[in-house]
Amino acid sequence: MKNAANAATASDTQNGESVQSRPGGTRRNGDAGGTLATVTFIALIAIAISLLGYMVAIR
């Protein structure tokens, strides 16, 4: 039965850290910061391009 308990908690680990050891017991997505940075960068590029297009169209 001890091995069954270890197998049950093994699926709850990420990067060798137990979910129970984190405050709140929540999982983190390891790439969330990179995704947010990419979306922010693309949004800023889109705003810059649209502003440039607006400035050219006014001319």
State the pLDDT at residue 7.
Answer: 57
């949004």: which residue's tokens? Answer: 43
Question: Residues 6 or more apart from 59 whose CB is under 8 A from it?
Answer: none
Query: Quick one: average pLDDT of 24-39?
Result: 79
Percent of the chain with pLDDT over 90: 41
The one-letter amino acid at 9: T
Residue ranges per structural domain of the chain: 31-59
Query: Quick one: average pLDDT of 22-51?
Result: 85
Question: Residues 6 or more apart from 12 whose CB is under 8 A from it?
Answer: 18, 19, 20
Q: The whole model's pTM is what?
A: 0.47
